[in-house]
Amino acid sequence: MFNISNRFQYAANQALSSAIIISTFVIIASIAQLVVNNAWSLDTTSISNIKTQTSLKKSFNYGSLNRKPKENSRIQFDLVTDLRPLFNWNTKQVFVYLTAEYPGKKDGSSNKVTYWDKIIQSKDDAVLDLSRMKSKYSVWDVEESFREREAVLRLEWNIQPWIGPLLFGSTTANSTFTFAKIKEAKTP
């Protein structure tokens, strides 16, 4: 009972139990602070001046079949938001991304794509005022065409804490836009 391996095992068990209790307290306290700061109901976001551009592109990586071009969409937008309530002493960084959700081919289904994203590493950088920002990613639809469908544009976020689970959410503001029609080439 009094050998060195038993003493080491007892000390290690005490240290591990203490670390689990402290980590649990940190996780609960940081989530409670986010709830108090209304992190899941941010209403300081404005997405406006959305301009869409749809073109035909050939890409074997994104669903182009038999060398036929497929529709590709990009947007330009203005974004104003204050994400400081997402930061507390347990926040390592916040990943924000602008998504568009639009109806799918089947009734009740929807498609969701990401046009832009950014990693915010400090509370000082958490106020975004972007104007005439171009989408970071061009988007191909899983179907053959966007068919001028209406989409809802939303700013979503993911808090990556020092300790604890990843936390997801979105701002309450959203905007709608219609995918642009591809202009037909004029034949002489």
Does residue 186 form part of some domain? no
d(CA 185, CA 183): 6
- The conformation of residue 105, written as its DSSP 8-state character, comes to S
Residues 143-159 have pLDDT tens digits of: 777 878 889 999 999 99
Residues 63-92 have pLDDT tens digits of: 666 767 778 889 999 999 999 999 999 999
Per-residue model confidence (pLDDT) at position 71: 82
Q: Report whether 162 contacts 101 (CB < 8 A).
A: no
Q: How many other β-carbons are positioned within 10 Å of the β-carbon of residue 165?
A: 10
Per-residue model confidence (pLDDT) at position 181: 81
Does residue 117 form part of some domain? yes
Tell me the pLDDT of the chain (188 aa) as tens digits.
Answer: 578 888 899 999 999 999 999 999 999 999 999 999 888 888 888 888 888 888 877 766 666 667 677 788 899 999 999 999 999 999 999 999 999 999 887 777 888 999 999 999 999 999 999 999 999 998 888 777 787 888 999 999 999 999 999 999 998 888 888 888 876 544 44
Does residue 183 form part of some domain? no
Length of the chain measured in residues: 188
- The conformation of residue 136, written as its DSSP 8-state character, comes to S
* Domain extent at residue 122: 4-178
Does residue 169 form part of some domain? yes
Does residue 187 form part of some domain? no
Beta bridge partners of 175: 153
Q: Report whether 142 contacts 94 (CB < 8 A).
A: no
Which H or E element spans position 112?
strand 110-120
Q: Looking at the 3D structure of the chain, how many domains does it have? A: 1
Does residue 14 form part of some domain? yes
